[in-house]
């Protein structure tokens, strides 16, 4: 090998080695990974936990529910996070519900339509109802906004709202109605809320903890997304936020989970707009 090339190879190897060394990190760190919906809450809990238990280290990573489930199955992380229910192939994991999250249907604060049935909501998003007049509002075309394909919020919405009144198949499950192809697509709760807040004709859905005064949560089938309605299961669009472990949790993972399920952990989650499971 000519001399300059050898220099370069040596340099490259050195650079690679130093990178590998850095990424390994501390051995005692507990890794929590998965759903981007659960991520901010888990981060908050981890901060609280580390404040009470000096010396402990918890790193929280996003990546999505499916990634979290896979990472947990492969023992890459100690605790996985999921904002959707486990599929049949994934049930080997232990699931620990940490909170409930209602998905609120939101409209612009100026929109007089505040009550919908599940079937009406389905028809709006399927493009069968296209004018607010049909729902008792002004003569204005409806702008439905949905989340991107693969989003956990979208999956829950499909499972709970888009199946309303749809014929059931042989396995007892209904196929969700197809979404109107001209529905706008946004990739975060934040941008969805921003658009609904500025467009009087818009309707969309976000995590109920994020509803603020600029948008209005719709009463669905006569039930508003209040804490009691969510906990009793009366509000129809509720999903569970799950922690997942591969086998029973032990050591640091067990302690963190205990904290999350404790009164102070649950209180912290409730303050952020989620609904307690305990």
Partner 1 sequence: MREKLIERGLLLVALSAVATIFIIAYFIFREGVPLVAKVGVWDFIASAQWAPGKGRFGILPMIVGSLEVTVLAVIIGATLGLSCAMFLAEFAPRWSVRVLKPMIELLAGIPSVVYGFIGVVVLVPMIRRAFGGPGFSVLASAIILGIMTLPTVIAISLDALHAVPPLYKEGSLALGATRWQTLYRVQLPAARSGIIAAFILGMGRAIGETMAVIMVAGNALTLPTSLLQPVRTLTANIALEMGYASGDHQAALFATGMVLFIIIAILNTIALAVTRPRT
* Binding footprint of partner 1 on the chain (CB under 8 A): 2-5, 8, 36, 63-67, 70, 141, 143, 148-152, 178, 181-187, 191, 194-195, 198-199, 201-202
CB neighbour list of residue 109: distance below 8 Å, 6 or more residues apart: 197, 213, 214, 215, 216
Q: What is the maximum span of the chain, computed from C-alpha positions, in angstroms?
A: 81
> Is 9 exposed, middle or buried, given 0-12, 13-18 or 19+ CB atoms closer than 10 A?
exposed
- Minimum Å gap between C-beta 150 and partner 1 is 3
Q: Which is nearer to partner 1, 63 or 273 (CB)?
A: 63
- Minimum Å gap between C-beta 102 and partner 1 is 21
Q: Which is nearer to partner 1, 5 or 20 (CB)?
A: 5
Whole-number Å distance between alpha carbons of 268 and 258: 14
- Minimum Å gap between C-beta 65 and partner 1 is 8
Nearest in space to 140 (alpha carbons), one of 102, 107, 99, 179: 107
- Minimum Å gap between C-beta 259 and partner 1 is 28
């Amino acid at each position: 090998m000519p001399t300059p090339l050898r220099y370069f190879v040596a340099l490259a190897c050195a650079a690679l080695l130093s990178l590998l060394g850095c990424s390994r990190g501390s051995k005692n760190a507990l890794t929590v990974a998965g759903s981007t919906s659960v991520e901010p809450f888990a981060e908050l809990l981890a901060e609280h936990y580390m404040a009470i238990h000096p010396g402990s280290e918890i790193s929280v990573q996003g990546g999505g529910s499916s990634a979290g489930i896979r990472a947990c199955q492969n023992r890459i992380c100690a605790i996985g996070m999921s904002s959707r229910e486990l599929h049949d192939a994934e049930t080997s994991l232990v699931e620990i519900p940490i909170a409930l999250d209602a998905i609120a249907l939101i409209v612009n604060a100026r929109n007089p339509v505040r009550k919908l049935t599940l079937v009406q909501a389905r028809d709006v998003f399927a493009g069968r109802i296209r004018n607010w007049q049909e729902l008792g509002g002004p003569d204005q075309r409806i702008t439905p906004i949905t989340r991107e394909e693969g989003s956990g919020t979208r999956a829950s919405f499909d499972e709970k709202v888009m199946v309303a009144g749809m014929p059931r198949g042989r396995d007892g499950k209904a196929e969700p109605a197809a979404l109107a192809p001209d529905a706008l697509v946004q990739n975060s709760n934040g941008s969805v809320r921003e658009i609904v807040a500025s467009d009087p004709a818009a309707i969309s859905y976000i995590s109920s903890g994020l509803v603020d005064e600029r948008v209005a949560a719709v009463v669905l089938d006569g039930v508003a997304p209040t804490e009691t309605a969510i906990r009793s299961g009366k509000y129809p669009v509720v999903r569970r936020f799950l922690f997942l472990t591969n086998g029973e949790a032990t050591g640091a993972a067990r302690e963190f989970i205990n904290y999350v399920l404790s009164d102070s952990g649950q209180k912290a989650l409730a303050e952020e707009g989620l609904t307690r499971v305990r």
